Amino acid sequence: MRVQSSRFPEADLHCHTTSSDGLFTPRELIQAASELGLKAVGITDHDTISGWSEAFNAGEKYGVEILRGVELNTEWKGIEVHILGYEPSPESGQFQAKLQELREDRSERIYKIIGRLHDLKIEITEEEIKTVAHGESVGRPHVAQVLIQRGYVKTIKEAFDSYIGKGSPAYVPRLKLTPEEGIKLIRTAGGVAVLAHPGIHQLGNIITPWIKAGLQGIEVSHSEHTPEDERRCRALAKQYHLITTGGSDFHGEERKPGVKLGEWGTSYEVVEQIRELAESSKRKNIS
């Protein structure tokens, strides 16, 4: 059961748009954030930064500051570890090349998933998935949406549990990227690397190597964190001198039921801290 949210009215730094697997366009997301009175929003789509420009233009119109971000799915001993990267330089060729590689792997993975579903007599097509995936980063939630539309399942959870989740018959593993590799990619591009929602898999006891690799922050407030998770994350942040961030992990009601924009987040001061770290990192990279 999801815990009661902890609202911070200033910044929601973990949001997804139609550029990856969210249901709101960047403009719609920023407009909604403005109506809620948020000062800043982090655009953190999976493996893509294509939503930044539209979000930035909307931010100027609606008076919401945009923290440019990305979410990388990495893996440690079979456990998913998500790394948020804030303010990486879009001019970094290495960064852009790796994102392109990850997106291409996503497309190949979807093709293989469709094949396995066909083996199960579940006839969906790549064209149907492209219709619901409005951005360049295609993922399993788009497959789940088509399965719902075709009447094979009723919910996204059922789609993952029965067909496309890990251990299910149509599951296909993704390109393996380690947390250290994800952190290095972000840091090399002058960005700030933050461990996303560590409470989900209780990752607190294993982060030392990631600290050594350059991890700079930890997501404390999150829609799937319990109060105890938050306490542990704050203790880790204090122990390792990490920035404490927060965000809803908003995708839209149909994609993540009950997760509302702005109901998990942090103060605007954290936005300033992230920007300062990113600027310092870019100066070091230049020198």
pLDDT tens-digit map of 94-113: 999 999 999 999 899 999 99
Q: Name the strand (E) or helix (H) holding 35.
A: helix 26-36
Q: How confident is the model at residue 275 (pLDDT cuts 50, 70, 90)?
A: very high
Q: How confident is the model at residue 2 (pLDDT cuts 50, 70, 90)?
A: very low
DSSP β-ladder status, 243-247 and 40-43? unpaired
Q: How many CA atoms lie within 13 A of 38 on its CB side?
A: 33
The rounded distance, in Å, linking the Cα atoms of 138 and 130 is: 8
Looking at residue 282, its pLDDT comes to 75
Helix (H, G, I), strand (E, B) or coil at 195: strand
Out of 2.40.50, 1.10.150, 1.10.10, 1.20.140, the CATH code matching 106-164 is 1.10.150
Q: pTM here?
A: 0.89
Alpha carbon distance, N-terminus to C-terminus of the chain? 49
pLDDT tens-digit map of 180-234: 999 999 999 999 999 999 999 888 778 999 999 999 999 999 999 999 999 999 9
Query: Does the pLDDT value for residue 284 go beyond 90?
Result: no
Q: How confident is the model at residue 135 (pLDDT cuts 50, 70, 90)?
A: confident
Query: Does the pLDDT value for residue 90 go beyond 80?
Result: yes
As a whole number, the mean pLDDT across the chain is 92
Share of the chain above pLDDT 70, in %: 96
Same fold, 11-99+175-286 and 106-164: no
Query: Does the pLDDT value for residue 260 go beyond 90?
Result: yes
71 versus 136: the higher-pLDDT residue is 71
Closest listed residue to residue 204, CA positions, set 88, 86, 84, 76: 76
The rounded distance, in Å, linking the Cα atoms of 276 and 254 is: 36
Start-end of H helices in the chain: 26-36, 52-62, 93-119, 126-132, 140-149, 156-159, 179-188, 208-213, 227-240, 268-286
**Taking the domains of the chain in order of start, what are their residue ranges?**
11-99+175-286, 106-164
The rounded distance, in Å, linking the Cα atoms of 270 and 186 is: 18
CA 170 to chain CA centroid, nearest Å = 23
Judge whether 177 and 74 are in contact, CB under 8 Å. Answer: yes
Closest listed residue to residue 17, CA positions, set 6, 7, 5, 27: 27
Angle, vertex CA 254, rays to CA 251 and CA 258, nearest 5: 75
The rounded distance, in Å, linking the Cα atoms of 4 and 223 is: 8
Looking at residue 50, its pLDDT comes to 95
CATH of segment(s) 11-99+175-286:
3.20.20.140
Q: How confident is the model at residue 252 (pLDDT cuts 50, 70, 90)?
A: very high
Looking at residue 286, its pLDDT comes to 55
